[in-house]
């Protein structure tokens, strides 16, 4: 079902500048794709009517005329928000858009609709299916955003990650997914889940568009490819490191390593001590404790309508004592600094598994975020590279990881790899 779409945001801007296209062209294309595939993929919670395309004035922006999907846990003033609840909690429209929506609109982006989220971006799945195999999960929690981008319904879609909610669905759906350094883009107007880790990110079908969105949202410089990767030190390390990998994931990691070596990089196993493996457990403590605080009002009034897993998490969090929560946060904080020293001295980038394998069968669950929990708690930028196929031709991604605030370096490395 996937049809490759080679148009990048930059090339669309170039077409507009040469008057080879018009502002609404991409909007119309996306609407047509949605009309064709949405019944199967079910990526959207709400879609803007075709004829109500936003009017744009200036033409100098980075995202002029670019349709974007906005995850359903992000406030929008002109569209409803349901936070993946299926409607037991519903806002007909927020007082104002979430801040990131305004930042996107300022750059000329046009909000095409709200994409399906799992319940409050936790585990209870929405209706979305994996475009590569409709019987499989697209992953979560940013299910609709990953699937919509994969199905060519939209070139760019927002996601959020608190455990593995961007990297995992990107891996399952075969698209690029980027979780920048924690706190890079404002979370204002987005439903919090575990505020020490909640991070806004995005999906695209190529690395160029991932970079353009980063430049647009940070008002930062354009990210260029390097001539090659000579001198770049790539450390291989999964979090946790003590698990047997699925052969599909092994192959994806090997392919990525070889590709990096072809560009001149040096790839070697990165020794990180056992404290790093404990991050997975610390992540679960912080997640449960913070979710139980953050969603206390929703739990108070809607516990009976909530999914079982969410109720379990919240009640587990209510039983965690403050001292244990604090201990996990302090452990993570110490490892953030320890990892910075590793990046200073031993490596430039880490190569790791994005997910335990290809997208699991069934729509009853969204897969396991285990390989993302530790990195998310560390706040480091993570990028899913959709380079490999596993069993049945299904996508298997790998992730590249840099130190906090090295996002530009990470994106530049990936861009080089795709040059």
Instruction: Cite the active site residues.
Output: 71, 141, 165
Looking at 28, 35, 183, 346, which residue binds a second copy (CB under 8 A)? 183
Three-state DSSP at 62 gives coil
Angstrom distance (rounded) from CA 266 to CA 273? 21
305 lies in the site for a second copy, by CB under 8 A? no
Looking at 102, 127, 243, 281, which residue binds a second copy (CB under 8 A)? 102
Angle ∠(171,180,194) on CA atoms, nearest 5: 90
Quick one: which segment of 30-38, 121-129, 189-197, 343-351 binds a second copy (CB under 8 A)?
189-197
Interactions with a second copy, residue window 334-393 (CB under 8 A):
337
Number of Cβ within a 10 Å radius of residue 135 = 10
Min dist. Cβ of residue 333 to a second copy (A)? 8
5 lies in the site for a second copy, by CB under 8 A? no
Min dist. Cβ of residue 96 to a second copy (A)? 4
Min dist. Cβ of residue 98 to a second copy (A)? 7
Q: Residues 6 or more apart from 69 whose CB is under 8 A from it?
A: 43, 44, 112, 113, 114, 115, 144, 145, 148, 149, 153, 154, 156, 157, 158
* Pick 47 or 217: Cβ nearer a second copy: 217
Min dist. Cβ of residue 233 to a second copy (A)? 22
Angstrom distance (rounded) from CA 145 to CA 101? 15
Looking at 98, 154, 267, 339, which residue binds a second copy (CB under 8 A)? 98
Min dist. Cβ of residue 308 to a second copy (A)? 21
Site string for a second copy, 197-236 (x = CB under 8 A): ---------------------xxx----------------
Interactions with a second copy, residue window 239-298 (CB under 8 A):
290, 293-298
- The token duo for 282 is 């610390």
- Total residues in contact with a second copy, by rule CB under 8 A: 43
Angstrom distance (rounded) from CA 222 to CA 370? 33
The distance from CA 316 to its chain's CA centroid, rounded to whole angstroms, is: 26
Looking at 5, 21, 29, 91, which residue binds a second copy (CB under 8 A)? 91
From first CA to last CA, the distance across the chain in angstroms is 26
Signed CA dihedral, 199, 87, 152, 155: sign only: negative
CB 372 within 8 A of CB 168: yes
* Pick 67 or 180: Cβ nearer a second copy: 180
* Pick 86 or 241: Cβ nearer a second copy: 86
Looking at 135, 188, 262, 346, which residue binds a second copy (CB under 8 A)? 188
Angstrom distance (rounded) from CA 130 to CA 203? 15
Looking at 330, 362, 393, 418, which residue binds a second copy (CB under 8 A)? 330
Min dist. Cβ of residue 93 to a second copy (A)? 11
Quick one: which segment of 163-171, 201-209, 324-332, 410-418 binds a second copy (CB under 8 A)?
324-332
* Pick 326 or 391: Cβ nearer a second copy: 326
Min dist. Cβ of residue 329 to a second copy (A)? 7
CB 36 within 8 A of CB 47: no
Burial of 171 (0-12, 13-18, 19+ CB in 10 A): buried
Q: Where are the alpha helices (DSSP H) in 219-321?
A: 247-262, 274-277, 279-294, 296-302, 308-319
Min dist. Cβ of residue 198 to a second copy (A)? 10
Angstrom distance (rounded) from CA 314 to CA 205? 35
* Pick 14 or 330: Cβ nearer a second copy: 330
Q: Which residues pair with 187 in a beta bridge?
A: none
CB 188 within 8 A of CB 98: yes
CB 164 within 8 A of CB 369: yes
Site string for a second copy, 389-418 (x = CB under 8 A): ----------------x-------------
User: Given the rule CB under 8 A, which residues bind a second copy?
Assistant: 77, 89-91, 95-99, 101-103, 106, 183, 185-189, 191-192, 195-196, 218-220, 290, 293-298, 300-301, 321-323, 326, 329-330, 337, 405
């Amino acid at each position: 079902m996937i049809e490759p779409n080679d148009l990048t945001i930059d090339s669309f801007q170039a077409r507009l500048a040469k008057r080879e296209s018009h502002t609404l062209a991409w909007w119309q294309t996306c609407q047509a794709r949605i009309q064709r595939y949405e019944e199967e993929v079910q990526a959207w919670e709400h879609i803007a009517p075709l004829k109500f395309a936003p009017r744009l004035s200036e033409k100098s922006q980075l995202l002029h005329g670019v349709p974007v999907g906005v995850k359903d846990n992000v406030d929008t003033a002109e569209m409803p928000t349901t936070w993946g609840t299926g409607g037991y909690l519903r806002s007909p429209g927020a007082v104002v858009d979430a801040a990131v929506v305004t930042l996107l609109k300022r750059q000329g982006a046009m909000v095409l609709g709200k994409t399906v989220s799992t319940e409050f971006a936790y585990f209870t799945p929405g209706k979305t299916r994996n475009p590569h195999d409709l019987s499989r999960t697209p992953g979560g929690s940013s299910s609709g955003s990953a699937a919509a981008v994969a199905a060519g319904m939209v070139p760019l879609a927002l996601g959020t990650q608190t455990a593995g909610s961007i990297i995992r669905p990107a891996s399952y759906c075969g698209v690029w997914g980027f979780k920048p350094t924690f706190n890079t883009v404002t979370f204002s107007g987005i439903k919090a889940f575990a505020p020490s880790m909640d991070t806004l990110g995005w999906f695209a079908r190529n690395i160029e568009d991932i970079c353009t969105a980063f430049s647009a949202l940070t008002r930062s410089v354009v990210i260029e490819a390097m001539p090659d990767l000579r001198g770049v030190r790539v450390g291989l390390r999964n979090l946790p490191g003590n698990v047997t990998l699925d052969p599909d994931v092994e192959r994806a990691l090997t392919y990525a390593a070889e590709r990096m070596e072809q560009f001149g990089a040096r790839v070697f196993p990165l020794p990180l001590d056992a404290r790093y493996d404990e991050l997975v457990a610390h992540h679960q403590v912080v997640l449960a404790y913070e979710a139980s605080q953050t969603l206390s009002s929703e739990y108070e009034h809607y516990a009976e309508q909530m999914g079982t897993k969410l109720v379990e998490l919240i009640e587990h969090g209510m039983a965690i004592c403050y001292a244990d929560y604090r201990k996990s946060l302090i452990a993570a904080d110490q490892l953030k600094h320890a990892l910075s020293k590793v990046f200073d001295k031993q490596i430039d980038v880490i190569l790791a598994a994005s997910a335990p394998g290809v997208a699991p069968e069934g729509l009853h669950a969204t897969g396991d975020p285990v390989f993302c929990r530790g990195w998310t708690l560390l706040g480091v930028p993570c990028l899913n590279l959709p380079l490999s196929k596993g069993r049945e031709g299904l996508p298997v991604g790998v992730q590249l990881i840099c130190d906090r605030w090295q996002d530009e370096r990470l994106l530049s490395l990936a861009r080089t790899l795709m040059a």
